[in-house]
């Protein structure tokens, strides 16, 4: 388990602004890090402060042991970001980050710490649905790489670099373990607005699986589909950020 004593380690690329009225916490996909959201900082209204979440095992926290199970990760993460929950806020999470942000929102509600005003979920099936795919986090290296290729989220040059992949394997396997060992528990729907995004050509997550997120909120729900596969957020960054900004506007008045 990783210590959460270094509070600032959880939030990277964080630049406080005098104009800040609202914070957007961004959670990366499996194997991803805070750097994924580096270009996001200047793409939102000046009132919005982007807080990119860095999980152990990547980026500046590369030497830390990554979590392999969701409950201890959520517990440590909640402690890590609590000092930043002093303003209205929202969560954005892509793929694994969607699951993490959803369970973090439920954890914060349970502990009566704070609640996000809005939850943005991208490319992850509704949590109450069982995972239709067999687990891959314990596959031999060759088969594991084959599965990663199908997701299309790891550059080909990286996949073909044996030395680099050996470095990344540990964190990637840990992240897939977090998702694949997840056990959904029934709770009341969240009170916050819920916006869900998906890729039209995503072979991992269907539109029907995304639509089921509506059951996880008792407030407004929307679903937007973008051209692209599971990692549509990379080529479709501009329209995706426009959609998020549009949904955040009511909180900035």
Give the pLDDT confidence score for residue 74 in this predicted structure.
98
Q: Between the CA atoms of 57, 146, 150 and 160, what dihedral angle is there, to the nearest 10 degrees?
A: 70
Give the pLDDT confidence score for residue 162 in this predicted structure.
64
Which of 3, 4, 5, 95 is the catalytic position? 95
Give the pLDDT confidence score for residue 170 in this predicted structure.
84
Active site (annotated) includes residue 5: no
Give the pLDDT confidence score for residue 7 in this predicted structure.
47
pLDDT < 70 stretches in the chain = 1-7, 13, 151-165
Alpha-carbon distance of 231 to 99, in angstroms, equals 16
**Dihedral of alpha carbons 50, 55, 59, 64, sign:** positive
Residue with tokens 């199970």: 69
Average pLDDT, the chain: 89
Q: Within 10 Å of residue 69's Cβ, how many Cβ atoms?
A: 14
Give the pLDDT confidence score for residue 216 in this predicted structure.
98
Alpha-carbon distance of 202 to 232, in angstroms, equals 8
Give the pLDDT confidence score for residue 209 in this predicted structure.
98
Q: Which domains does the chain have, with CATH numbers?
A: 7-252 (3.40.50.1820)
pTM value? 0.90
Give the pLDDT confidence score for residue 31 in this predicted structure.
87
> Contact at 8 Å (CB) between 170 and 198?
no
Residue 158: DSSP 8-state: H
- CB-based contacts of 30: which residues, under 8 Å, 6+ apart? 95, 96, 153, 172, 175, 176, 178, 179
Give the pLDDT confidence score for residue 161 in this predicted structure.
63
């Amino acid at each position: 388990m990783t210590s959460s004593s270094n509070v600032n380690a959880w939030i990277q690329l964080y630049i406080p602004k005098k104009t800040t009225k609202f914070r957007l916490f961004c959670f990366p996909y499996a194997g991803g890090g805070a750097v994924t959201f580096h270009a996001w900082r200047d793409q939102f209204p000046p009132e919005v402060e982007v807080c990119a979440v860095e999980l152990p095992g990547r980026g500046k926290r590369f030497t830390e042991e990554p979590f392999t199970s969701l409950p201890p990760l959520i517990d440590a993460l909640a402690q890590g970001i609590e000092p930043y929950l002093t303003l209205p806020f929202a969560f954005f999470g892509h793929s694994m980050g969607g699951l993490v942000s959803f369970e973090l929102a439920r954890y914060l509600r349970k502990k009566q710490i704070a609640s996000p005003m809005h939850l943005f979920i991208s490319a992850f099936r509704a949590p109450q649905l069982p995972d239709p795919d067999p687990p891959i986090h314990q596959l031999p290296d060759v088969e594991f790489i084959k599965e990663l290729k199908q997701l299309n989220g790891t550059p080909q040059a990286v996949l073909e670099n044996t030395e680099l992949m050996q470095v990344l394997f540990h964190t990637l396997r840990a992240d897939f373990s977090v998702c694949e060992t997840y056990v959904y528990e029934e709770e009341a729907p969240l009170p916050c607005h819920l916006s869900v995004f998906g890729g039209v050509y995503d072979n991992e997550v269907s539109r029907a699986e995304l639509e089921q997120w509506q059951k996880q909120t008792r407030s407004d729900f929307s679903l937007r589909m973008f051209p692209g596969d599971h990692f549509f957020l990379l080529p479709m960054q501009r329209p995706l950020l426009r959609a998020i900004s549009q949904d955040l506007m009511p909180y900035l008045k």
